[in-house]
Amino acid sequence: MANEKIILGIDPGTTIMGFGLIKVVNKKMEFIQMNELLLQKYADPYTKLKLIFERTIELIDTYHPDEIAIEAPFFGKNVQSMLKLGRAQGVAMAAGLSRQIPITEYLPKKIKMAITGNGNASKEQVAKMLQSVLGLKSLPKNLDSTDGLAAAVCHFYNEGRIEVGKSYSGWDAFVKQNGDKINKQ
Protein backbone atom coordinates (compact mmCIF):
# COMPACT_ATOMS: atom_id res chain seq x y z
CA MET A 1 0.00 0.00 0.00
CA ALA A 2 1.23 3.50 -0.85
CA ASN A 3 2.43 5.77 1.92
CA GLU A 4 -0.18 8.56 1.85
CA LYS A 5 -1.11 11.53 3.95
CA ILE A 6 -3.03 14.76 3.57
CA ILE A 7 -1.73 18.11 4.83
CA LEU A 8 -4.03 21.07 5.45
CA GLY A 9 -2.30 24.45 5.33
CA ILE A 10 -3.94 27.51 6.86
CA ASP A 11 -3.18 31.22 6.57
CA PRO A 12 -5.32 32.59 9.40
CA GLY A 13 -6.93 35.99 9.16
CA THR A 14 -9.98 37.87 10.35
CA THR A 15 -10.68 39.34 6.92
CA ILE A 16 -9.70 36.35 4.77
CA MET A 17 -8.61 32.91 5.93
CA GLY A 18 -6.71 31.13 3.18
CA PHE A 19 -6.32 27.38 3.09
CA GLY A 20 -4.88 24.71 0.85
CA LEU A 21 -4.67 20.95 0.86
CA ILE A 22 -2.10 18.62 -0.60
CA LYS A 23 -1.87 14.86 -0.67
CA VAL A 24 1.53 13.24 -0.27
CA VAL A 25 1.84 9.86 -1.96
CA ASN A 26 5.21 8.10 -1.73
CA LYS A 27 6.96 11.40 -0.97
CA LYS A 28 5.39 13.19 -3.97
CA MET A 29 2.96 16.09 -3.64
CA GLU A 30 -0.43 16.23 -5.31
CA PHE A 31 -2.62 19.33 -5.25
CA ILE A 32 -6.10 18.76 -3.79
CA GLN A 33 -7.55 22.25 -3.49
CA MET A 34 -7.17 25.79 -2.21
CA ASN A 35 -9.73 28.38 -1.31
CA GLU A 36 -10.50 31.13 1.13
CA LEU A 37 -13.07 31.97 3.74
CA LEU A 38 -14.21 35.56 3.20
CA LEU A 39 -15.03 37.33 6.44
CA GLN A 40 -15.14 41.03 5.44
CA LYS A 41 -18.93 41.25 5.52
CA TYR A 42 -19.11 40.27 9.20
CA ALA A 43 -18.67 43.15 11.64
CA ASP A 44 -18.78 41.10 14.84
CA PRO A 45 -15.31 39.69 15.65
CA TYR A 46 -16.82 36.74 17.55
CA THR A 47 -18.89 35.73 14.53
CA LYS A 48 -15.67 35.72 12.48
CA LEU A 49 -13.95 33.45 15.01
CA LYS A 50 -16.95 31.10 15.04
CA LEU A 51 -16.90 30.91 11.23
CA ILE A 52 -13.13 30.20 11.20
CA PHE A 53 -13.65 27.37 13.69
CA GLU A 54 -16.62 25.92 11.78
CA ARG A 55 -14.89 26.11 8.38
CA THR A 56 -11.75 24.46 9.77
CA ILE A 57 -13.85 21.65 11.29
CA GLU A 58 -15.68 21.27 7.96
CA LEU A 59 -12.36 20.97 6.08
CA ILE A 60 -11.13 18.40 8.61
CA ASP A 61 -14.33 16.35 8.41
CA THR A 62 -14.35 16.48 4.59
CA TYR A 63 -10.68 15.84 3.76
CA HIS A 64 -9.45 14.05 6.92
CA PRO A 65 -5.99 15.67 6.99
CA ASP A 66 -3.28 13.81 8.86
CA GLU A 67 -1.45 17.03 9.76
CA ILE A 68 -2.10 20.77 9.83
CA ALA A 69 0.46 23.45 9.02
CA ILE A 70 -0.46 26.96 10.07
CA GLU A 71 1.19 30.29 9.46
CA ALA A 72 2.19 31.92 12.75
CA PRO A 73 1.32 35.58 13.26
CA PHE A 74 4.26 37.83 12.49
CA PHE A 75 5.36 40.42 14.99
CA GLY A 76 4.29 43.80 13.66
CA LYS A 77 3.94 47.22 15.16
CA ASN A 78 0.15 47.12 15.39
CA VAL A 79 -0.70 45.24 18.58
CA GLN A 80 -4.44 45.12 17.79
CA SER A 81 -3.78 43.46 14.42
CA MET A 82 -1.52 40.89 16.06
CA LEU A 83 -4.14 40.16 18.70
CA LYS A 84 -6.82 39.60 16.03
CA LEU A 85 -4.50 37.35 14.00
CA GLY A 86 -3.53 35.41 17.10
CA ARG A 87 -7.17 34.80 17.92
CA ALA A 88 -7.88 33.62 14.36
CA GLN A 89 -4.88 31.30 14.51
CA GLY A 90 -5.89 30.00 17.94
CA VAL A 91 -9.41 29.18 16.81
CA ALA A 92 -8.12 27.28 13.75
CA MET A 93 -5.65 25.44 16.00
CA ALA A 94 -8.40 24.59 18.49
CA ALA A 95 -10.45 23.05 15.67
CA GLY A 96 -7.52 20.81 14.70
CA LEU A 97 -6.67 19.93 18.27
CA SER A 98 -10.30 19.03 18.95
CA ARG A 99 -9.96 16.37 16.23
CA GLN A 100 -6.54 15.18 17.54
CA ILE A 101 -4.65 16.37 14.44
CA PRO A 102 -0.98 17.33 14.90
CA ILE A 103 -0.35 21.02 14.19
CA THR A 104 2.89 22.74 13.26
CA GLU A 105 3.36 26.52 13.13
CA TYR A 106 5.64 28.19 10.62
CA LEU A 107 6.79 31.79 10.55
CA PRO A 108 5.96 33.60 7.28
CA LYS A 109 9.68 33.95 6.45
CA LYS A 110 10.19 30.20 6.91
CA ILE A 111 7.31 29.43 4.55
CA LYS A 112 8.59 31.87 1.92
CA MET A 113 12.10 30.44 2.25
CA ALA A 114 10.84 26.87 1.83
CA ILE A 115 8.82 27.73 -1.29
CA THR A 116 11.04 30.26 -3.10
CA GLY A 117 14.43 30.09 -1.39
CA ASN A 118 13.96 33.72 -0.32
CA GLY A 119 12.49 34.57 3.10
CA ASN A 120 11.55 38.03 1.83
CA ALA A 121 9.70 36.86 -1.30
CA SER A 122 6.42 38.55 -2.23
CA LYS A 123 3.04 36.83 -2.15
CA GLU A 124 3.12 36.86 -5.94
CA GLN A 125 6.50 35.09 -6.06
CA VAL A 126 5.26 32.42 -3.64
CA ALA A 127 2.09 31.93 -5.71
CA LYS A 128 4.02 31.64 -8.99
CA MET A 129 6.41 29.07 -7.50
CA LEU A 130 3.48 27.01 -6.19
CA GLN A 131 1.86 27.23 -9.61
CA SER A 132 5.03 25.85 -11.16
CA VAL A 133 5.71 23.13 -8.57
CA LEU A 134 2.12 21.85 -8.34
CA GLY A 135 1.15 22.44 -11.99
CA LEU A 136 -1.72 24.79 -11.15
CA LYS A 137 -3.54 26.04 -14.25
CA SER A 138 -4.38 29.43 -12.76
CA LEU A 139 -3.96 31.48 -9.61
CA PRO A 140 -6.72 33.06 -7.53
CA LYS A 141 -7.30 36.82 -7.46
CA ASN A 142 -6.58 37.01 -3.73
CA LEU A 143 -3.40 35.25 -2.70
CA ASP A 144 -4.52 34.24 0.79
CA SER A 145 -5.42 30.78 -0.49
CA THR A 146 -1.94 30.34 -2.00
CA ASP A 147 -0.49 31.40 1.37
CA GLY A 148 -2.47 28.60 3.03
CA LEU A 149 -1.30 26.17 0.35
CA ALA A 150 2.28 27.40 0.88
CA ALA A 151 2.07 26.45 4.58
CA ALA A 152 1.12 22.88 3.59
CA VAL A 153 3.93 22.66 1.02
CA CYS A 154 6.42 24.12 3.51
CA HIS A 155 5.40 21.42 5.98
CA PHE A 156 5.98 18.75 3.35
CA TYR A 157 9.43 20.17 2.52
CA ASN A 158 10.38 20.27 6.22
CA GLU A 159 9.20 16.75 7.00
CA GLY A 160 11.80 14.75 8.86
CA ARG A 161 13.82 17.80 9.86
CA ILE A 162 14.52 18.17 13.53
CA GLU A 163 13.66 21.87 13.87
CA VAL A 164 10.45 22.63 11.95
CA GLY A 165 8.51 24.92 14.26
CA LYS A 166 6.20 24.44 17.18
CA SER A 167 4.22 21.21 16.97
CA TYR A 168 1.26 20.10 19.04
CA SER A 169 -0.30 16.65 18.86
CA GLY A 170 -3.22 17.51 21.13
CA TRP A 171 -4.34 19.62 24.08
CA ASP A 172 -2.05 17.78 26.49
CA ALA A 173 1.01 18.50 24.32
CA PHE A 174 -0.03 22.15 23.91
CA VAL A 175 -0.44 22.65 27.67
CA LYS A 176 2.81 20.80 28.40
CA GLN A 177 4.77 23.02 25.97
CA ASN A 178 3.05 26.26 27.00
CA GLY A 179 2.19 25.62 30.65
CA ASP A 180 4.71 28.13 31.98
CA LYS A 181 3.15 30.88 29.82
CA ILE A 182 -0.39 29.87 30.77
CA ASN A 183 0.36 29.80 34.51
CA LYS A 184 1.88 33.31 34.47
CA GLN A 185 -1.39 34.92 33.40
Parse the chain into domains and list their residue ranges: 2-179
Is residue 67 annotated as a catalytic residue, yes or no? no
pLDDT in tens, the chain (185 residues): 458 999 999 999 999 999 999 999 988 999 999 999 999 999 999 999 999 999 999 999 999 999 999 999 776 677 888 888 899 999 999 999 999 999 999 999 999 999 999 999 999 999 999 999 999 999 998 899 999 999 999 999 998 654 444 555 555 665 565 554 444 33
Catalytic residue among 36, 67, 144, 147: 144
Residue 160: left if φ>0, alpha if ψ -120 to 50, beta else—which one? left
Catalytic residue among 11, 36, 67, 105: 11
Is residue 71 annotated as a catalytic residue, yes or no? yes
Sequence-distant (≥ 6) Cβ neighbours of residue 25 within 8 angstroms: 2, 3, 4
Identify the pLDDT of residue 79: 82
Nearest to 62 by CA among 97, 33, 102: 33
Is residue 36 annotated as a catalytic residue, yes or no? no
Binding-site residue positions for Mg(2+): 11, 71, 144
Q: Which CATH class is domain 2-179?
A: alpha beta
pTM (2 d.p.)? 0.85
